[in-house]
Amino acid sequence: MRPDSPPVESADRVLRLLDMLRSSGSVSVSEAAGHLGVAPSTAHRLLNTLTFREYAVQDHLRRYRIGPAFWKDRERSPALSGLRLAARPALEYARDQTGETVQVMVLRGGDIQFLDGLESPHVLRVAMRRGDTMPAFTSAGGKALLSRLPNQELEELYRSGVPDWPTAKIHSLSTLKRRMTRIRHDGYATNVEETEQGVVGVGIAVVNYIGRPLAGLTTATPSIRFNRTDVPRHVEVLRAAAARLEARLARSPGPETSE
């Protein structure tokens, strides 16, 4: 006969918390505390224990999600060559819909590396980059990627300080964190002549199944042609392109490699 109460209450709370994570997708400390009927400090300790054992992860919004311990076979990053190939349809869609140069990039520490892109058909256009690197906080796509990291990871990335860049508008870790808070709220990032003079960018993060950043997608427009009213349309197109790329990567995961 089933007992009226669990033999080990603490273990039961952990299992109930895992069930909640799996059914809800993400939970906050206060939501976990309410579900378990415990103090927030107790819920926080339980969530930290799950995080330590990789049964949970904390995302950029400080909410907890199912961690890679449940999906060891799926927690893979696509090889750069595979990502480049998978991104091409998304890039074509974004270029055709916006008429501007579009690019895909990945994080490399505190920098981004441009993997591929397609140029605008306009005579006046931004040239695509491939293989170039620059500080992530200068690029719209780089900012979108950084915004998907918790502040603790940002502090680790820039523990030696925010590096100099000729056209950068972010010069300190505190400014970077404030900017990331806004980008997390908006769900997209922009740069106005921060990578180089005369270029305006809009960026969206491509993420995996637990919300970790895989790549950034951006539009790059000559500032002389750019209008602030274009931002919502670029964001809508990039979100649709990112969703296509995420779905494609989810269908064909590859081994973690680098180039």
The reply to whether 80-251 shares the fold of 9-70 is no
Q: What is the mean pLDDT of the chain?
A: 86
Q: Whose CA is closest to 107, among 136, 69, 127, 86?
A: 136
Alpha-carbon span 169 to 189, nearest angstrom: 14
User: What's the whole-number mean pLDDT along residues 205-229?
Assistant: 92
Q: What is the pLDDT of residue 217?
A: 98
Task: For domain 9-70, say whether CATH 1.10.10.10 is its number.
Answer: yes
CB atoms within 10 A of CB 257: 12
Q: pTM for the complete prediction?
A: 0.71
**Superfamily per CATH, domain 80-251:** GAF domain (3.30.450.40)
Beta bridge partners of 95: none
DSSP letter, residue 72: T
Alpha-carbon span 140 to 126, nearest angstrom: 14
Q: What is the pLDDT of residue 205?
A: 97
**pLDDT digits 0-9 by tens, 160-175:** 888 888 898 999 999 9
Q: What ranges do the domains of the chain cover?
A: 9-70, 80-251
Q: How many helices (H) and strands (E) does the chain have?
A: 8, 9
**pLDDT digits 0-9 by tens, 135-194:** 999 999 999 999 999 888 898 888 888 888 889 899 999 999 999 999 999 999 999 999
User: What's the whole-number mean pLDDT along residues 118-128?
Assistant: 94
Question: Three-class SS of residue 20?
Answer: helix
Alpha-carbon span 234 to 207, nearest angstrom: 18
Does 215 score more than 90 pLDDT?
yes
User: What's the whole-number mean pLDDT along residues 70-77?
Assistant: 48
Taking each helix axis as running N to C, give the angle between helix 40-52 and helix 29-36, from 0 to 180 degrees, rounded to the nearest 10.
Answer: 110
pLDDT: is 81 or 176 the higher one?
Answer: 176
